[in-house]
Chain A
Amino acid sequence: MIAVALRNLRHRPGGFIATFLSAFLGAVLLMAFASLIDTASGVDAASNESLITTAGVGGGWCLVIVAFAVTSTLTLAVRRREEQIALLRRVGATGQQLRRMIVGEAVAVALIASAAAVPVGFVLGRLLVSLMKDTGQVAAAVDAAFGPIALGVGFGVTLLGSLVAGIATARRTAAPVGTKRARPLLRRIGAGLFLLTGANCAVLTATVMDGKGIDAMQTAGQAGIWASIGLALLAPELLRLVTAVLGPAVRLFGAAGELALRPQPSAVMPVLLFTGIATGTVYMQGIEDRASSGEVQAAYARDIQTLNYVVVGMIALFVAIMLVNMLIAATTHRRREFAQQRLAGATRGQVIAMVALEGALVTVTGVLGGAVASLFTVLPFGSARAGQVWPDASPLAFAVVAAIAVALTGSALVQTTRRALRGPATAAVRA
């Protein structure tokens, strides 16, 4: 089956692009941050501490995002090939063999992606060190290094993450037909745990970290991430709620509106993660900037500012990949459904209107959920840093974040739907 896996990679590389991209970007960032630890060995104590802190903060973010992105892209890459897997099953492949094929593909993609990431990670690591030298946080004499820790973490985490994601996907996909069952209870328990962790971090920020200045960012930032993940896991419930509330308005669009009232929750997750983490981080930095103006800044405050914006950009990139990949997979899957609607008398315009309305419901859910999650970061940090729970910041930044979410979802959806609608409906319904 490993042979089949490798042939799949060689002859159908298109299906793995998204998985490769997220693994590659993840490995690059992990290597760059881990190389700071390589650099830190044998330098003066102050530089050492700065390097290790930055590596820890930056690397921690990456770890969470990479795990999420690789799992979701891989799941979809496999789900897109349900037909091939059903075919293999019919010609006699056992579940065990299919699992081996899927995991084999995942590991092979991770290996290639990590190898390709080495030179880029090397350059990015150097860039980080020189950035830190510019701000005087690291002594000018320190030489950037790229050694065993960078390579070990980069390859190790990417491979391990892909392996775990591959096994999880394979277990679900290779199960005999008819035994696939969504497990809402497990998902809800997971959501509860993440939300509790987020709330815990938020409380810690507002109490223990009160008056600790910029250091409160560590727990405040985490609170928002955990809350975002927790709410993202509740996407189906949130989407149902939003659909129920907005249903009457959507119905005003006629038949397209009625057909749009059963949206799929999968795309809510990336939108929510993006909105939650981006909004939280941007406003947290805003509060910090206002609070620190006039006072003597910690040496690494500027670095953290840069780092925060880099993190937001990074997450936006990851989420864009996830979102586009997800929407392409989901929409391609619906070719037949669209064709049936057209045969029942729907014009292309009506199908696109339906998809756009579904997209609107998904985006509203994601943006609202993300806004709630970001409060886990913003409110306690405001209280700890500025003694003021509600920040007196302009809503403009949130509007920008929401606009990016809308633009990403909208363009990906409409593009993929257009493609799925190409050609006569009679051919698509048979496919």
Chain B
Amino acid sequence: MTDVVRVEELYKTYDGGVTALDGVTAGFAAGSFTAVMGPSGSGKSTLLQCAAGLDRPTGGRVFLDGHELTATKDTAMTKFRRGRVGFVFQDYNLLPSLTVLQNVVLPLRLAGRRADLAAARAALAQLDLADRTDELPERLSGGQRQRAAVARALVTRPAVIFADEPTGALDLGSAREVLTLLREVVHQHGRTVVMVTHDPVAAAYADSVLFLADGRLAGSLSAPTADAVAERLAHLGDRARAAA
């Protein structure tokens, strides 16, 4: 299997000297569902943002869908992301002034492509949002908003979907729905999903888990269970201390 996303020797240092990524090399295979985990401050969100072309790493290389991300200007980076990357965020980031349907087709319209409204409606209907397509996001529950956000991430048929704590703001039931949906996206539609989370239960929905600690890779786990993930997380600190 080829890697849809590949990062090599990624470094990221913020102004003020905080090192968020300290030489991370990783690949994410096509058609896989990977969870990236680690304690707060481990660099997992930074890794996602650099891999997705939302932020520029201080050093290292990023390959998306076989192309290296070399753009440094914001506009060029945006154009590179379009069509290659879809996003799902913790706080949905749906535009409050647009209806659900308008939000879903927005990435297409921004890319100057014709929006297939019928297809978008059908996609929303598959996510049980058929009767909410013309409402504003504020009228939807958290779970419904996040499903709409997933529909928006899928609309450009991207090579990879990045999800940053997609269940962070949801109740248990809605979280389960969204995670099941992400699994279906991978296993039934053959897409690739990379999800950052700190919740072992959410990570257990993924095919594999990548652990980060202090900006470095700290192991991985295939076919994870919530207990196994929690166990590994609890001892991430030990190993870092032992290494020091």
Which residues of chain B come closer than 8 Å to A347, judged between CB atoms? 74-75, 78-79, 110
Chain A interface residue number, banded: 20 to 34
Chain A residues 70 to 99 lying within 8 A of chain B, measured CB to CB, are none
The stretch among A155-163, A186-194, A203-211, A338-346 that forms the contact with chain B is A338-346
Which residues of chain A come closer than 8 Å to B93, judged between CB atoms? 340, 343-344, 429
Is B75 within 8 A of A344, CB to CB? no
Closest approach, in angstroms, between the C-beta of A254 and any C-beta of chain B? 6
Is B110 within 8 A of A346, CB to CB? yes
Which residues of chain A come closer than 8 Å to B220, judged between CB atoms? none
Is B112 within 8 A of A346, CB to CB? no
Given A350-B110, A426-B49, check contact A345 B81 (CB 8 Å).
Answer: yes
Closest approach, in angstroms, between the C-beta of B148 and any C-beta of chain A? 12
Asked if B139 lies at the interface with its beta carbon under 8 angstroms from chain A, I say no
Is A262 within 8 A of B97, CB to CB? yes
Which residues of chain A come closer than 8 Å to B156, judged between CB atoms? 345
Which residues of chain A come closer than 8 Å to B78, judged between CB atoms? 342, 345-348
Which residues of chain A come closer than 8 Å to B74, judged between CB atoms? 347-348
Which residues of chain B come closer than 8 Å to A49, judged between CB atoms? none
Is B110 within 8 A of A337, CB to CB? no
Chain B interface residue number, banded: 20 to 34
Is B107 within 8 A of A344, CB to CB? yes
Chain A residues 295 to 340 lying within 8 A of chain B, measured CB to CB, are 337, 340
Closest approach, in angstroms, between the C-beta of B25 and any C-beta of chain A? 22
Provide the bound-state CA to CA distance between A344 and B82, in Å: 9
Q: Give B145-184 as 1s and 0s: 1 = Cβ < 8 Å from A's Cβ atoms.
A: 0000000100010000000000000000000000000000
Which residues of chain B come closer than 8 Å to A425, judged between CB atoms? 54
Closest approach, in angstroms, between the C-beta of B120 and any C-beta of chain A? 14
Closest approach, in angstroms, between the C-beta of A264 and any C-beta of chain B? 10
A345 contact from B55, B98, B102, B107, Cβ within 8 A: B107
Which residues of chain A come closer than 8 Å to B103, judged between CB atoms? 344
Asked if A127 lies at the interface with its beta carbon under 8 angstroms from chain B, I say no
Which residues of chain B come closer than 8 Å to A342, judged between CB atoms? 78
Closest approach, in angstroms, between the C-beta of A349 and any C-beta of chain B? 6
Is B54 within 8 A of A424, CB to CB? yes
Asked if A255 lies at the interface with its beta carbon under 8 angstroms from chain B, I say yes
Which residues of chain B come closer than 8 Å to A343, judged between CB atoms? 54, 87, 89, 93
Which residues of chain A come closer than 8 Å to B95, judged between CB atoms? 259, 337, 340-341, 344
Asked if B106 lies at the interface with its beta carbon under 8 angstroms from chain A, I say yes
Which residues of chain B come closer than 8 Å to A255, judged between CB atoms? 106, 109-110, 112
Which residues of chain B come closer than 8 Å to A340, judged between CB atoms? 93-95
B54 contact from A258, A337, A426, Cβ within 8 A: A426
Provide the bound-state CA to CA distance between A255 and B107, in Å: 9
Which residues of chain B come closer than 8 Å to A254, judged between CB atoms? 109, 112
Q: Give A416-431 as 1s and 0s: 1 = Cβ < 8 Å from B's Cβ atoms.
A: 0000000011100100
Asked if B226 lies at the interface with its beta carbon under 8 angstroms from chain A, I say no
Asked if B111 lies at the interface with its beta carbon under 8 angstroms from chain A, I say yes
Closest approach, in angstroms, between the C-beta of B73 and any C-beta of chain A? 9
| Interface-centre pick from A254, A337, A345, A346 (highest chain B CB count, 10 A) | A345
Closest approach, in angstroms, between the C-beta of B23 and any C-beta of chain A? 22
Closest-by-CB residue of A relative to B86 is A345
Closest-by-CB residue of B relative to A254 is B112
Chain B residues 90 to 144 lying within 8 A of chain A, measured CB to CB, are 91, 93-98, 102-103, 106-107, 109-112
Closest approach, in angstroms, between the C-beta of A70 and any C-beta of chain B? 31
Closest-by-CB residue of A relative to B152 is A344
Is A344 within 8 A of B106, CB to CB? yes
Closest approach, in angstroms, between the C-beta of B185 and any C-beta of chain A? 18
Which residues of chain A come closer than 8 Å to B152, judged between CB atoms? 344
Closest approach, in angstroms, between the C-beta of B12 and any C-beta of chain A? 12
Q: Give A225-259 as 1s and 0s: 1 = Cβ < 8 Å from B's Cβ atoms.
A: 00000000000000000000000000000110011
Is B75 within 8 A of A345, CB to CB? no
Provide the bound-state CA to CA distance between A424 and B81, in Å: 14
Given A262-B97, A426-B49, check contact A345 B54 (CB 8 Å).
Answer: no
The 8 nearest A-B residue pairs measured at CB: A255-B109, A345-B107, A347-B75, A347-B78, A345-B110, A255-B110, A340-B93, A345-B82
Q: With contacts A344-B95, A345-B110, A346-B110 known, what are 9 further pairs, Cβ within 8 A?
A: A254-B109, A337-B96, A341-B95, A341-B110, A343-B89, A344-B93, A344-B152, A347-B74, A347-B78
A residues with CB within 8 A of B: 254-255, 258-259, 262, 337, 340-350, 424-426, 429
B residues with CB within 8 A of A: 49, 54-55, 74-75, 78-79, 81-82, 87, 89, 91, 93-98, 102-103, 106-107, 109-112, 152, 156
Can you list 16 A-B contacts with CB-CB less than 8 angstroms, sorted by A residue number? A254-B109, A258-B109, A259-B95, A337-B95, A337-B96, A340-B93, A341-B110, A343-B87, A343-B89, A345-B82, A345-B106, A348-B75, A424-B54, A426-B49, A426-B55, A429-B89
